Structure 1
Amino acid sequence: MKIYIALALIAAGTVAVAHSGVKNPDVMNRMIGMSEMAKQMKTVGAMAKGETAFDADAVNAALATLSEEASYIPSLFEINATDPKSEALPVIWEEFDTFAGHAKHLEEITASLAGTVKSPGDLGPVMKEVGKACAACHSDYRKE
């Protein structure tokens, strides 16, 4: 579980730097969408690590937002736009159906988890499931 929390927090921490100097508006829109997802993961991750107080409503809202944002991923990547600041790999457009399937899986996982978190003990399994769904896409379609 710790690796998934660490990945989420690293992604969230690099978002602001990644946006500076982006010239392509399509790439910028993708980055904004991914930044919102990173923000939600940071909220959940901070509680899972005990850095912030547990708040079931905030976790469940974050999961609902993650699901909504995940539903936009395929449309954000429909255009094969590039920018030196982009972390998207070209294989996204070569394997777009698989890529979109990963996004759909993330959307479904987070939707199924939203509303289920009742106690701090629920955070570990949630982070594991969401982290696996994020990592499945990032490992193949994002520059490390």
Structure 2
Amino acid sequence: MKTVIFALIALGVATMAFAHGGVKNPAVLARMENMKAISDQMKGLAAMAKEERPFDAAQIVRSLEQISADAARIPALFQAPETDPKSEALPAIWQEFDRFENLSADLSVAVTEVGAPENLTDLRSAVQQIGVTCKACHDPFRD
């Protein structure tokens, strides 16, 4: 399961890097940049969890705070059903906006629940928990 979560994070980062090129709608670009910011923070946490980067408790806290702040912005960024050919947002977001909004709130809750991981085991668990929360929203609402 851990390998799957780490692979999904890496795939999400790679996909977002290519997706931003040529986006013409500023609302869609703002959404994509917010999601990329979350992905970038998760990528850093995953690198620490896989011991590709040194464990840094202060950076972990900063990353989690940033993820929480970016997660709180998600509903407002998606309020209007803006589109762009490069967008991966599915129409289901606006058809089931309450569910979408609840899932974005779940991300903030997951970040709060993991607290401040103090060791590698806790960090790995935190990355997995947050990754599962991300996947729960990506599966129904992202192409």
Bucket of the pairwise TM-score, normalised by the shorter protein: over 0.9
User: Structure 2 counterpart of 1:139, which letter?
Assistant: D
> Which runs of no fewer than 5 residues in structure 2 stay unpaired?
none
The 5 A counterparts of 1:79-94 are 79-94=80-95
User: How many residues align structurally?
Assistant: 142
Q: Identical aligned pairs, as a percentage?
A: 40
Q: Check the 8 A contact 1:63/1:113 in 2, yes or no.
A: no
The 5 A counterparts of 1:12-27 are 12-27=13-28
Alignment RMSD (CA, Å): 1.0
Per-residue CA deviation, residues 124-144 of structure 1 (Å, 9 max, x unaligned), is 21011101100000000001x
Q: CA deviation at 1:113?
A: 2.2
The 5 A counterparts of 1:101-140 are 101-114=102-115, 116-140=116-140
The 5 A counterparts of 1:1-144 are 1-114=2-115, 116-143=116-143
Q: CA deviation at 1:121?
A: 1.4
Counterpart CA distance in 2 for 1:132 and 1:97 is 19
Counterpart CA distance in 2 for 1:142 and 1:15 is 12
Counterpart CA distance in 1 for 2:105 and 2:117 is 21
User: Structure 1 counterpart of 2:94, which letter?
Assistant: W
Q: Check the 8 A contact 1:9/1:41 in 2, yes or no.
A: no
Q: CA deviation at 1:17?
A: 1.1
Counterpart CA distance in 1 for 2:15 and 2:119 is 29
Counterpart CA distance in 2 for 1:3 and 1:16 is 20
Per-residue CA deviation, residues 19-70 of structure 1 (Å, 9 max, x unaligned), is 1000111100100100100110011011111111111111121111111110
Runs of 4+ displaced beyond 4 Å: none
> Which runs of no fewer than 5 residues in structure 1 stay unpaired?
none
TM-score (norm 1): 0.95
